[in-house]
Amino acid sequence: MSLQFNATGDFSRLVSPLTPEIKAPVNASFDTHGTTVIAVKYRDGVLNVADRRATAGMSIMYDKSEKILPLDDHTLVSISGSFAKAIEIARYLRHSFKYYTRSQLQPMSLEGKLAEMTKALVQNLPMALQGIGTFVPVLSAWDEQAGEGKIYFFDPMGARFESSDFGAAGSGSAPIRGSFDYITRTKGPFAEMDLQTALRECLILLDIAADNDAATGGYAKIAPSAKAVTKDGILNLNEGELQRVMDEMQSGQAPQSLNVRTERVNADAPTN
């Protein structure tokens, strides 16, 4: 059984007027399974935070799934939708980027990476129409030419959009959409925050999403996932660091410096 995390609306209504000969099954529920993945720009790059709950229908299948996947040293994808399909596409993209680097003797451009993501989504469209393979990603990357972090989100048909400050996907993203604007209007853009401040705001947003979406796991029992992409590579915030930040938030302490370091991505390593 494919584990379904998310969808963004009634996909069959979106597609069938254009292609009436293709019909999604009546029982395909694109908007009842979900998750919450969040990406925000901060001073040194892009921070990604995600819950770790995997659901199948109304059942909680697993509480330690990894939904933030490094594709190379400067690219992260946060996944929502079918977990099995998301892992398959992430593996394809990871090896596609590595193959291009080895064969062309240069890294793939950011535009090339985005085109590969679009191609993967288009190829997955038949599975999405069947209601068993919907995949909605948020891609974060360090743009070496622009010297800044970038956030892109997609729809299941491959349409691409760039966000200026933040992005989110999953069924829990809808309840917190206005909260992003509230934070930026009262505390300033995420892009001006340091890592500690941005992380605290994302944890609050994730907690609100968990309160309003049954398919989003909170962090009372299991710490969420958090990774950042910077000019120096991927930052992985381990469970101990996250727990310390959450304890500080609960006790009202001032944020302390995070002890994190960049990691290199092995294209041959498992994706979860």
Q: Is 35 a catalytic residue?
A: yes
Residue 5: CB atoms within 10 Å: 32
- Determine contact, residues 161/152, Cβ cutoff 8 Å: yes
pLDDT of residue 264: 64
Q: Quote the DSSP letter at residue 18.
A: T
How many residues in total does the chain contain? 272
- Residue 159 pLDDT exceeds 60: yes
Whole-model pTM: value is: 0.82
Give tens-digit pLDDT for 99-150.
Answer: 999 999 999 999 999 999 999 999 998 888 887 788 899 999 999 999 999 9
Average pLDDT of span 184-207? 94
- 11-263 maps to which CATH number? 3.60.20.10
Domain boundaries, the chain: 11-263
Residue appearing with tokens 């302390």: 256
Catalytic residue (choose from 8, 19, 32, 35): 35
